[in-house]
Structure 1
């Protein structure tokens, strides 16, 4: 955007323009000065072109508390919740991850992939998720098996901040827990299980948006 002249790159919708990085523009949000930054944390400047100032969309979205991501395949910038959910099964890793139909089936339905902790002792059961700041919400399905779960929570792992606390009763069946995960890179999901209790999380129907 700093090059002179005009023209269109072959096979694309990109058009060369002459624009300026404008270090004179100061940004404030609710009266408080802010520094626009890219996804790597580097400071970025507004751009001025033909009398109009353009702000970096990621920096503005971060300040406003709105998730932002870019789909390179469709050249689409997405703000807020995605049009379609993205299952947490992708790249999920944990010792209690299973594809065994005997363990992925709950109330007669086979969910194909699941987190199923039935270790059989009083314990804390947990796993990590990595939304990487791309999503607005997490819709997590959880079922208590055998015994109620009295203490369940989801933490922002990097900031050590609780985003959601809940209880899950056996009678609830699959309970959908909605969590605001705007700007969150890592999630720690934990439940305190009783010795005769287990936790079932279907990974194919739990999703980010």
Structure 2
């Protein structure tokens, strides 16, 4: 995270904020009625560019003013700053990285996923559940991941088998912004790649490899955080 984003994050967290994520997930006994005002007189810029507060469906939102304090919808703020926000079923809101990693196996979509013991072993260790593209020909081995703006980081492990991986890429599927790209040599072993995915809803992951080469990605040790 760059210095400007850190300053913006600190300023936003310093404000009193509310989560525009629906009260249905929380017990009614935790809700206290108040008299507040929608403050349509405020406007916002992020990094010098106008920014409109919106809900998860794209609807326009207004800040709320209550007792001389302005409350901003946390989902809109997190979208503006590219910071992940995650709410659990107990009402705990986490900004940025979560404490516990969540396996990329959750919501994984793509071919070449296998739990075949003859294919899940790398360097003497059985990873149980892996993405293994060992098809023939020069190709792009690819799949989708869906962090749904809940996570700040992706830690994904990758190994090149048989031939070097020319380029391993992670791209924001909605904006087409390339978040990470790097070559992976066979001699590198099982590489852990860290990717900043704050604000990303869907990721397109692909590896450029050659005929005779395989792409090995363990699900059990690759995770969102």
- TM-score, normalised to structure 1's length? 0.89
Unaligned 5+ segments in structure 1 are 1-8
2:31 aligned partner: 14
In the alignment, the residues of structure 2 paired with residue 39 and residue 184 of structure 1 have an alpha-carbon distance, to the nearest angstrom, of 13
Q: Which protein is richer in helix relative to its size?
A: 2
Unaligned 5+ segments in structure 2 are 1-25
Indicate whether 1:152 and 2:163 are aligned.
no
1:57 aligned partner: 74
In the alignment, the residues of structure 2 paired with residue 11 and residue 122 of structure 1 have an alpha-carbon distance, to the nearest angstrom, of 57
The CA RMSD over aligned residues, in Å, is 1.7
Q: 2:118 aligns to what SS in structure 1?
A: helix
In the alignment, the residues of structure 2 paired with residue 27 and residue 196 of structure 1 have an alpha-carbon distance, to the nearest angstrom, of 53
Please give the per-residue CA displacement for 1:158-200, whole angstroms capped at 9, x wherever unaligned.
2222111101111111101111111111111111211111000
- TM-score, normalised to structure 2's length? 0.83
Which one of the candidate residues 176, 189, 202 is aligned to 1:173? 189
* 8 Å CA contact retained: 2:140, 2:209: yes
Alpha carbons of structure 1 residues 85 and 50: separation in structure 2 relative to 1, 3 Å? same
1:115 aligned partner: 131
Point out the structure with max Rg over C-alpha. Answer: 1
1:64-83 aligned within 5 A: 64-71=81-88, 73-83=89-99
